[in-house]
Amino acid sequence: MPSKFRCIRCGGEYEPGSVFNCECGGLLEVVHEPMRWGRHVVDSRLCPMGVPYSSGVWRYKELIHPGLAAGMIVTRPEGNTNIYTRKVVSNYAGVEKLSMKHEGENPTGSFKDRGMTVAVSEAVRQKAKAVACASTGNTSASMAAYAAQAGLRGVVFIPEGEISYGKLSQALAYGSKVVQVPGSFDDAMRIVQEASRELGFYLLNSINPWRVEGQKTIIFELLHQRAWVPPDWIVVPAGNLGNTSAFGKALSELVELGWVEKVPRIASIQAEGAAPFYKMWKGGCSSLEALKPETVASAIKIGNPVSWEKAIRVIRETDGVVDVVSDAEIMEAKAIVDGSGVGCEPASAASVAGVRKLVSKGVIKPDEDVVCVLTGNILKDSDATIGYHTGKLKGVTPGRANAPTRIDAGAMSASLRRILSQ
């Protein structure tokens, strides 16, 4: 039996195509045929040479796209990201057993590659000619790279002036058509859905359930690396809520397979100025109210996340929590993660800032085992990093600034000697 799409609201089933909402309006998810084999299969794939199983995504092929022919897989390969522990970061967050899974180590510098390899491969299977996405930057960088590799036309819609130069430069360089939309990510999201319907682009945002399938492998790989021993908490930055949704789906599938016994609690962390999901969860509301987003963490500057309905289930099912952190807290946590030598982009640091906050509230206990997901590479948003260290970031007083020093002449001088001996 091939994989199907199923509505999370009414249970209606569909052949996988390019429509991602049920007739009743509910979101669709992928359901696979029940599995009949054990974890020795993925264990044996841990160190293979060559694609596709050397990919930290396709190693779990039977759990993400079992029916796909190997020849259709478009892979770099991706995944195989490291887990770091750093004393300064755990001291800062207030938990002894804190680790960081660094998804910024993916080929284009963010976790998006995990979902993109699956969804672009599916686009190839569907014989799509063009693929499209709206993006705060990372999705567009990733999609542009995979579209180039697959020989597909790529069209990305970005909020004008709102995405970092690093990410914009990737989309341009990999050759996608970049459309700058006046307004926010949410406006770009609306337009890309219209354009895809009208012009037949295969939509590659995380509303596409295949993206979610790929992103599940963050959890599969994390637990595999930990010999299938789950932590107490997994903490993730939350924007459009694709990851939160994917993490919950991955965990419930692993429990169903009997590969793990305990489900970690998921904490989704939003930026204070872009926190519609937090407001919904906190207020106990049954639907999400869109808002105008504002945050220095441009990757998660989203006011109307498309996957909220999947994500809220995950928070409920994992006994999870949603919280918010301010821009100042995000940038301070980033300075700590950067200063530990690990480094990440601003949105990623929301996870570490979130742990610190949840520890201070007594929600996370200092002796619990916590994994933060760092979603993007330190080089992704150098403007924010330099802005912080030079004190030019709006609304943020840098407590840990490390500004460059200018000297008057290219030679040793008394003043330079003084600076260097400090």
- Is 323 a residue that touches ligand F0G (CB under 6 A)? no
Tokens 């974890």 belong to 39
Binding-site string for ligand F0G from residue 292 to residue 311, where x marks contact by CB under 6 A and - marks none: -------xx-----------
Q: Are strands 153-159 and 177-181 parallel, antiparallel or unpaired?
A: parallel
Nearest distance from C-beta of residue 290 to ligand F0G, angstroms? 15
Residue 199 and residue 157 in contact, taking contact as beta carbons nearer than 8 Å: no
Q: Where are the beta strands (DSSP E) in 256-386?
A: 265-271, 321-325, 369-374
- Is 136 a residue that touches ligand F0G (CB under 6 A)? yes
DSSP string of 357-375, one letter each residue = HHHHTTSS-TTSEEEEEE-
User: Contact region for ligand F0G (CB under 6 A) — 89-97, 129-137, 149-157, 362-370?
Assistant: 129-137
Binding-site string for ligand F0G from residue 216 to residue 245, where x marks contact by CB under 6 A and - marks none: ---------------------xxxxxxxx-
Residue whose CB is less far from ligand F0G, 340 or 348? 348
- Is 204 a residue that touches ligand F0G (CB under 6 A)? no
> CA 161 → CA 83, 158, 167, 388, distances in Å?
33, 8, 12, 19
Nearest distance from C-beta of residue 51 to ligand F0G, angstroms? 25
The amino acid present at 54, given as its one-letter code, is S
**Spatial CA neighbour of 76 closest among 164, 141, 173:** 141
Tokens 């804190």 belong to 98
Task: Evaluate the omega torsion of the peptide bond into residue 77 and state whether it is cis, within 30 degrees of 0.
Answer: yes
Q: How many residues bind ligand F0G (CB under 6 A)?
A: 23
Nearest distance from C-beta of residue 192 to ligand F0G, angstroms? 11
Alpha-carbon dihedral angle through residues 172, 175, 179, 185, given to the nearest 10 degrees: -70
- Is 154 a residue that touches ligand F0G (CB under 6 A)? no
- Which of 3, 55, 135, 176 contacts ligand F0G by CB under 6 A? 135
User: Contact region for ligand F0G (CB under 6 A) — 36-44, 76-84, 135-143, 334-342?
Assistant: 135-143
- Is 385 a residue that touches ligand F0G (CB under 6 A)? no
C-alpha–C-alpha distance, residues 344 and 346, integer Å? 7
Binding-site string for ligand F0G from residue 325 to residue 344, where x marks contact by CB under 6 A and - marks none: --------------------
Residue whose CB is less far from ligand F0G, 22 or 133? 133
Residue whose CB is less far from ligand F0G, 236 or 254? 236
Residue 109 and residue 141 in contact, taking contact as beta carbons nearer than 8 Å: yes
- Binding-site ranges for ligand F0G (CB under 6 A): 110, 112, 135-139, 206, 237-244, 299-300, 345, 347-348, 375-376
